[in-house]
Chains A and B, each alone.
Chain A
């Protein structure tokens, strides 16, 4: 772990760079000097940053491998879409900013509640067994979302399970997902969400609760002997991450015109995990960089056409092989003295 001073500097730089980037991009959008593809990716990038940072809270800070993070994103996305549709159709709320805000908060809350419900059984398990159960929950969420129908009639929401015959305007249509969504997410909202996530995660890590979470990760038995309630702190990290993923989901869902439940599959959970691992376990700024780079990369590789995903796979393997090569590691250490990833060794032990 870095010293206090180094940590303060890293955090300040992270916030500073993000704010600077936001200002530059906003100016570019106003000048219309930004490419269409990049502009279209800004909101997804914000969502994936929030996903990666929140997953890093679970995997890096709390030390539990979760393979179902996309499930919480799914819950948040569809909750957000339903809430937004309900507010618009039922209450005639035309103010998109307020609607987006409420939808994101609702998405976070509902995903957080599911996080708590899922966390209770999941966090009793350890290691690979915990990982497989998070995977199972992710798949269950995807499967169940495929069967949910929701409609709004006046101010009433109707829910159907495996039953599409609902009165009023259909918001969720089972396997077809959400159709004709009013895309109300904005880049500014995405940026604010990223900043809120950063404040929550970085401040949490550097507080009494955060230290307890890391203590539980580093040495379970010693932490218990110091009077730390392991389950409580594992739960705190898990639920916070679920709520943040829900907010990211709402932002993401409300930026698309259509969204199918199968979008949030196991592969998406894995993608987010790749962001976390490549950015560095427990390294929050790293997650931001990796999420951004790896969201843009497949688009940048588009010129490779069919070879695009193949190139991505090879790149992924090479990066893992090189970053774990002792010789490369030594070289790295010599170039940047005093640098050390904190969580990685804890997971190894």
Chain B
């Protein structure tokens, strides 16, 4: 599990007790959640969720099945409106934003159960991501005004550029639904990146990938962070990936954070070992 660490920057405490990468100390944290929570009926699905993420931090959200990880993503992307607490994106309160607003503000995500636009081509999927980045109106489109051609060309070029991150430019004309599973997951990441996010949420990006593909994915995630200078929060069950690329890890159980810290701290944390990692170590031994 300690085999392939890719982190270089030491982690330093942040004023509130959270940790962020040292290189991000000069900039406003990209995400600050305080006491975030949501109830479904009487059930506190997520409660007292406090997190601070640095501008270029890669963080992991782990926990057993049903711990509320995806619910946290749904709160961050405003699929659900939180019952309690506040969220700040680069110091701006997200108030009662809708999903659409949250994306426009800079949060993009992928989905655990892939949600591509299956009947559209790969390129069109990415172009949907570029919807709010390269714009022109309905009438320019119908009347084929000069700005239509200009914007379409720009969308095409940027879409191919983004697809090239995963060497997928050659697939641009294929139906998204016909891609193999791994490629669909990668396309979802590209599509999310196309919305020019400040914070990228990846929901089980390595699910269904073989070890070789996972290795590649780890390289790509760090490369995306370096290239776009964005923060990435990921949910993942593959501990190899989490421990390998995440700088800060947050462990969730029954909707509450039971531990936070660097991979080393998390691996030593007795509560985590008991709730989660302990079983895995036994299984591996």
| A–B: direct contact at CB < 8 Å | yes
Q: Which of A219, A230, A236 has the most CB of B within 10 A?
A: A219
Q: Are A211 and B115 in contact (CB under 8 A)?
A: no
Nearest to A5 among chain B residues (CB) is B173
Find out whether the CB atom of B109 lies under 8 angstroms from the CB atom of A227: no
Q: How far is the CA of A55 from the CA of B175 in the complex (A)?
A: 25
Which of B103, B117, B132, B142 has a CB less than 8 Å from the CB of A207? B142
Chain B nearest Cβ from A306, distance in angstroms: 43
Question: Please, how many residues of chain A have a CB less than 8 angstroms from a CB on the other chain?
Answer: 33
The answer to whether A208 touches B118, judged by C-beta atoms less than 8 angstroms apart, is no
Does more than half of chain A's interface fall in helix, strand or loop, or is it mixed? helix
In the bound complex, do residue A219 and residue B117 qualify as a contact, i.e. CB atoms below 8 Å apart?
Answer: yes
- A236-B77 contact given A218-B118, A221-B115, CB 8 Å threshold: no
B127 within 8 Å of A by Cβ?
yes
Q: Does A135 contact B (CB under 8 A)?
A: no
- For residue A203, give the distance in angstroms from its CB to the closest CB of chain B: 5
A196 to B103, CA, bound (A): 36
Decide yes or no: A214 and B108 within 8 Å by CB, A228-B100, A228-B131 being known contacts: no
Q: Is B79 an interface residue (CB 8 A)?
A: yes
CA–CA, A3 and B178, complex, Å:
13
Chain B nearest Cβ from A198, distance in angstroms: 11
**Distance (whole angstroms) from the CB of A170 to the closest CB of chain B:** 39
Given A1-B175, A226-B128, CB of A215 within 8 Å of CB of B191: no
Closest CB-CB distance, A58 to chain B, in whole Å? 16
CB distance from B194 to the nearest CB of A (A): 8
B117/A225 in contact, CB under 8 A: no
Given known contacts A208-B135, A215-B117, A225-B109, A1 and B103 CB-to-CB distance under 8 angstroms = no
- Inside 8 A of A346's CB, which chain B residues have their CB? 118-119
Mask of A224-244 contacts with B, CB within 8 angstroms, 1/0:
111111100000100000000
B107 to chain A, nearest CB (A): 9
Residue of B111, B118, B131, B173 with most partner-chain A CB within 10 A: B131
Q: List 30 A-B contacts (CB under 8 A).
A: A1-B119, A1-B121, A3-B121, A200-B142, A203-B142, A204-B142, A207-B141, A207-B142, A207-B152, A210-B141, A211-B120, A211-B124, A211-B128, A211-B131, A212-B131, A218-B117, A218-B119, A219-B118, A222-B115, A224-B100, A225-B99, A225-B103, A225-B115, A226-B103, A226-B131, A226-B192, A228-B131, A229-B100, A343-B119, A345-B118
Since A1-B121, A214-B117, A224-B79 are in contact, a sample of 19 more A-B pairs with Cβ atoms closer than 8 Å, ordered by chain A residue number, is A1-B120, A4-B121, A4-B173, A203-B143, A208-B152, A210-B141, A211-B124, A214-B119, A219-B117, A221-B79, A223-B128, A224-B103, A225-B103, A225-B192, A226-B129, A226-B195, A227-B132, A227-B195, A236-B138
Residue ranges of B at the interface with A (Cβ–Cβ < 8 Å): 77, 79, 98-100, 103-104, 108-109, 111, 115-121, 124, 127-129, 131-132, 134-138, 141-144, 148, 151-152, 155, 173, 175, 177, 191-192, 195
